[in-house]
Amino acid sequence: MEKKTSQEVWERARRIKMLIMDVDGVLTDGCIILGSKGEELKNFYVQDGQGIDLARRKGLILVLVSGRRSKVVERRAEELKISEVYQGVSLKIEVYHKVLKKYGLKNEEVAYIGDDLGDIPPLRKAGLALAPANGVEGVKGIVHYVTRGPGGKGAVREVIDMILKAKEA
Amino acid sequence: MEKKTSQEVWERARRIKMLIMDVDGVLTDGCIILGSKGEELKNFYVQDGQGIDLARRKGLILVLVSGRRSKVVERRAEELKISEVYQGVSLKIEVYHKVLKKYGLKNEEVAYIGDDLGDIPPLRKAGLALAPANGVEGVKGIVHYVTRGPGGKGAVREVIDMILKAKEA
Amino acid sequence: MEKKTSQEVWERARRIKMLIMDVDGVLTDGCIILGSKGEELKNFYVQDGQGIDLARRKGLILVLVSGRRSKVVERRAEELKISEVYQGVSLKIEVYHKVLKKYGLKNEEVAYIGDDLGDIPPLRKAGLALAPANGVEGVKGIVHYVTRGPGGKGAVREVIDMILKAKEA
Amino acid sequence: MEKKTSQEVWERARRIKMLIMDVDGVLTDGCIILGSKGEELKNFYVQDGQGIDLARRKGLILVLVSGRRSKVVERRAEELKISEVYQGVSLKIEVYHKVLKKYGLKNEEVAYIGDDLGDIPPLRKAGLALAPANGVEGVKGIVHYVTRGPGGKGAVREVIDMILKAKEA
């Protein structure tokens, strides 16, 4: 998959009806914060949340998919009113196929953002493949667009702003 | 609204009697830290707190306004002795009008600092409209001044230092 | 107080027998982390702790002074075996005079590191006055040396390494 | 020990069968997060965890060694299925010798990554000596390779990727 020009990214963004997001390193900064009393915490970002809120109201279907499993992700998903949440997923491509089928969507109608090797199979399928600035090299090398901001600090907001602008243009 | 020269910003700062502050991304770094045991945490900054303390003692009226709702904000407000705290606000412009009326102030006597789209209506009214370095483009493009430091790491202190200096000059 | 050349800083460092440290923004990154369940957290840095451990073993007297009051500081002080801990201090200069008297030290034998306006009175007295990179301008302008690293990320380690090297030379 | 060319680092990486990792400042960002209710937290990084998972499956022996002692490290080790965990270690060189003997390995088969002075003795022995970008100068000056990323934000992943690539080449 070769790098696309910004015009091509724009064309791809216009067709998007669903955004599938990896969680750690994308919707968070990748920190796994562990405490001595068994607690686990994650850093989300208020501007990403505002973007997700806007996307939802504009009718974009939002999906979270994570290789790990954490109550924190459930809490954040509830807060953002995202109902499609898949955790403890070993093969993300299976979730990818499942949600496309459920909503009757084609690859070109789906954007996927992920930061690590486990995200490569769905990234190779998605109509718009995205990585945050902090993505590993193997992932950043195959996507259509790498966000300027890092995960958990605006990467998701940047993606949503791009998709909504492209669709409104 | 076109960008003002620093002289104009200074003139605007001299007239300020009230500073209204958005919370997430302004008084904090925008991180929404969620834990597996139901806890929510926010990062505030000690130097911002010192600035607020100084501003209060110099007679500046301080107001917090947040689209979200969190006990943490109440705690920080108590610590900083800020009594005007409005949370879970969907239309910030309503709070803006309410506090101006309550204190009998005109637009030119009010400074407002915010980082996201929901802050735009009051930013368009305030005599001194401010955004932190981490504000979204749509907001940074319409304010009189963008702080050098980001929210939760000195943006509020920078604003207070500017207002107090302008008033003392 | 004019800026000193590095030779002068070195000469000052050689005479130091006590290091007085502000806490928030110096031994921490200045974050006041507040939680919805009443918890308060602070970020300390492992390399600063190692430096303090080394300084203690070399016989340097270590003092913590904070304008705020927090159980967290007590915990960190215990861990680092610092017994001179003063919290909730409104006038830091009083603690400064008190510890100098207690240990029979002169100004030139004392180093003080602080980041905000409340630290200025003791900084004006100390034989070696220091600020972390994140110090406010009013403080960085009057000290003998501003560390390259910020508070809570190596500022204290840098100071201790400098003092110990100067004393051993 | 003089700096090695990247060819030499590569040759050293090819022979590695065991990776010994310091914890604070290497597998974490060095933050010691303390709370008012007795909690202690650490920041780990999801991409480092993915790298460790990959390394384990490729047969690399993984060891954690820490001068401090924390339940959090036990939790992260369990999650990453690392069974060789040594905490509260005052002389890391003793753990170094112990694990080499236990697995019948020679110095040239062992990589060690550490950030502070206590790591120097094992770093002087290991076939591949590594420091994260945030390592203290005294450590960065004696290792074969300093990672581009800091501890707790990709340093360990970078090391594992390098070792696995060198071994597969």
- Position D5 scores a pLDDT of 62
Q: For chain A, how many helices (H) and strands (E)?
A: 7, 8
Task: Examine the pLDDT at A67 and tell me if it is beyond 80.
Answer: yes
Provide Rg for chain B, Cα atoms: 15
- D31 → closest Cβ in C38, C43, C50: C43
> 3-class SS at D52?
helix
Beta strands in A13-121 (DSSP E): 18-22, 31-35, 40-45, 61-65, 84-86, 110-113
Identify the DSSP state of C108: G
Tens-digit pLDDT profile for residues A47-62: 999 999 999 999 999 9
Q: Which helix H or strand E contains C130, and what residues bound it?
A: strand C128-131
- Position D40 scores a pLDDT of 96
Are the beta carbons of B70 and B86 closer than 8 angstroms?
no
Task: Examine the pLDDT at C164 and tell me if it is beyond 80.
Answer: yes
Q: Would you say the C-alpha torsion A58, A59, A60, A64 has a positive or negative sign?
A: positive
Q: How many Cβ pairs closer than 8 A exist between chain A and B?
A: 58
List of chain C residues whose C-beta atoms are within 8 Å of the C-beta of residue D33: 33, 41-44
Distance from CA of B106 to the nearest CA of C (A): 32
Task: Examine the pLDDT at A1 and tell me if it is beyond 80.
Answer: no
- A41 → closest Cβ in B30, B34, B115: B34
Task: Examine the pLDDT at C149 and tell me if it is beyond 80.
Answer: yes
- Position C103 scores a pLDDT of 98
List of chain A residues whose C-beta atoms are within 8 Å of the C-beta of residue B32: 43-46, 49, 76
Interface with chain B: mutation pick from A46, A79, A160, highest number of B CBs within 10 Å = A46
Q: How many Cβ pairs closer than 8 A exist between chain A and D?
A: 58
Tens-digit pLDDT profile for residues A82-134: 999 999 999 999 999 999 999 999 999 999 999 999 999 999 999 999 999 99
Q: Which residue has the tokens 């399928």?
A: A125
* Partner-chain contact C76 D34, CB within 8 Å: yes
Let me know if B1 is exposed, middle or buried by CB neighbors in 10 A (0-12, 13-18, 19+).
exposed
Which residues face D130 on adjacent strands? D113, D145
Q: Which residue has the tokens 């928030």?
A: C24
Task: Examine the pLDDT at C150 and tell me if it is beyond 70.
Answer: yes
Which domains can be identified in chain D, with CATH numbers? 6-168 (3.40.50.1000)
Tens-digit pLDDT profile for residues B90-132: 999 999 999 999 999 999 999 999 999 999 999 999 999 999 9
This model of the complex carries an ipTM of 0.94
- Position C4 scores a pLDDT of 52
- C169 confidence band (pLDDT: 50, 70, 90): confident
DSSP string, D96-111: HHHHHHHHT--GGGEE
- Amino acid of residue C137: E
Residue D21 CB contacts under 8 Å (≥ 6 apart), including other chains: D27, D62, D63, D64, D65, D112, D113, D114, D156
Nearest CA in chain B to C69: B79
Task: Examine the pLDDT at C2 and tell me if it is beyond 60.
Answer: no
Considering only CA atoms, which of C87, C112, C85 is closest in space to residue C17? C112
Q: How many Cβ pairs closer than 8 A exist between chain C and D?
A: 58
Tens-digit pLDDT profile for residues B75-91: 999 999 999 999 999 99
* Partner-chain contact D50 A117, CB within 8 Å: yes
- C3 confidence band (pLDDT: 50, 70, 90): very low
pLDDT more than 90, % of chain D:
96
List of chain C residues whose C-beta atoms are within 8 Å of the C-beta of residue D32: 43-46, 49, 76
Considering only CA atoms, which of C100, C128, C98, C97 is closest in space to residue C114? C128
Interface with chain A: mutation pick from D39, D41, D46, D71, highest number of A CBs within 10 Å = D46
Tens-digit pLDDT profile for residues D67-110: 999 999 999 999 999 999 999 999 999 999 999 999 999 999 99
Q: Would you say the C-alpha torsion C77, C81, C82, C88 has a positive or negative sign?
A: positive
* Partner-chain contact C45 D37, CB within 8 Å: no
Instruction: Please state the rounded mean pLDDT for residues C76-101.
Output: 97
State the Cα–Cα distance between residues C129 and C145, nearest whole angstrom.
Answer: 7
Tens-digit pLDDT profile for residues A14-40: 999 999 999 999 999 999 999 999 999
- Position B3 scores a pLDDT of 47
What's chain A's average pLDDT? Answer: 95
Task: Examine the pLDDT at A64 and tell me if it is beyond 90.
Answer: yes
Which residues face A113 on adjacent strands? A21, A130
Task: Examine the pLDDT at B1 and tell me if it is beyond 70.
Answer: no
Interface with chain B: mutation pick from C26, C27, C36, C40, highest number of B CBs within 10 Å = C36
Considering only CA atoms, which of D61, D74, D68, D75 is closest in space to residue D24? D68
Distance from CA of D104 to the nearest CA of C (A): 32
Task: Examine the pLDDT at B4 and tell me if it is beyond 80.
Answer: no
Tokens in use for B152?
Answer: 């939760």
* Partner-chain contact B47 C115, CB within 8 Å: yes
Chains within contact range of chain A (3+ C-beta pairs < 8 Å): B, D
Tens-digit pLDDT profile for residues B134-160: 999 999 999 999 999 999 999 999 999
Q: With helix as H, strand as E and coil as C, how does C19-85 read?
A: EEEECCCCCCCCEEEEECCCCEEEEEEHHHHHHHHHHHHCCCEEEEECCCCCHHHHHHHHHCCCCEE
- Position B5 scores a pLDDT of 62
Are the beta carbons of D20 and D123 closer than 8 angstroms?
no
Residue A151 CB contacts under 8 Å (≥ 6 apart), including other chains: A24, A25, A26, A27, A28, A29, A30, A115, A132, A133, A134, A135
* Partner-chain contact B32 A44, CB within 8 Å: yes
- Position C109 scores a pLDDT of 98
Tens-digit pLDDT profile for residues D111-145: 999 999 999 999 999 999 999 999 999 999 999 99
Which residues face C24 on adjacent strands? none
Segment 93-152 of chain D within 8 Å of chain A by CB:
152
- Position A169 scores a pLDDT of 82
State the Cα–Cα distance between residues D5 and D130, nearest whole angstrom.
Answer: 14
Provide Rg for chain C, Cα atoms: 15
Chains within contact range of chain C (3+ C-beta pairs < 8 Å): B, D
Beta strands in chain D (DSSP E): 18-22, 31-35, 40-45, 61-65, 84-86, 110-113, 128-131, 145-146
Instruction: Please state the rounded mean pLDDT for residues C152-159.
Output: 98
Distance from CA of A38 to the nearest CA of B (A): 9
Chains within contact range of chain D (3+ C-beta pairs < 8 Å): A, C
- A5 confidence band (pLDDT: 50, 70, 90): low
State the Cα–Cα distance between residues C97 and C107, nearest whole angstrom.
Answer: 9
- Position D3 scores a pLDDT of 47
* Partner-chain contact C39 D41, CB within 8 Å: no
- D50 → closest Cβ in A37, A116, A134: A116
Distance from CA of C33 to the nearest CA of D (A): 9
Residue B4 CB contacts under 8 Å (≥ 6 apart), including other chains: B12, B144, B145
